[in-house]
Amino acid sequence: PRPALYGAEYEAVLARPSGDSECLSYRIVGKHCEEGDTLIRSACLPKLSPGDVIGILVSGAYQYAMRSNYNHLPNPAVVHVADGQSFVVVDRETLEDLIAKERPFPHPIRKAGQEAASGS
């Protein structure tokens, strides 16, 4: 959300070694398919292949703190990387995590304009 809210800029890196020195321009976006979900408008990366993982540098503290479940999507894991090692510090959310606190609506749902059932 930071780029959309106040113009924060991020850098992207390919998470695998690449001998390709060519720089191609990619737009990095999230999964919401909305203008405000653009993370990087023009990222310089080598040629990408399906399944490649891209790291967005120095965004973790802000993204985790500003996370939401917009469109009812689970949040990703948070991974700390230091000295060539990675550590999961927050587990990935599951759909079960998202709906764990939800309860069924107590009354039958009716269509717009439909009269409510009269009770005694």
Residue 10 has what pLDDT?
A: 84
pLDDT along the chain (120 residues), means of 10: 73 86 89 78 93 82 72 84 91 92 84 68
Q: Which of 19, 33, 58, 96 is catalytic?
A: 33
* Fold annotation for 1-56: Lyase, Ornithine Decarboxylase; Chain A, domain 1 (2.40.37)
Q: Tell me, yes or no, if 33 is annotated catalytic.
A: yes
Residue 79 has what pLDDT?
A: 85
Q: Which sequence spans correspond to the domains of the chain?
A: 1-56, 67-102
User: Of 93, 41, 103, which is closest to residue 67 (Cα–Cα)?
Assistant: 93
Report whether 42 contacts 67 (CB < 8 A). no
C-alpha span between 77 and 86 (Å, rounded):
12
Place of tokens 């479940």: 69
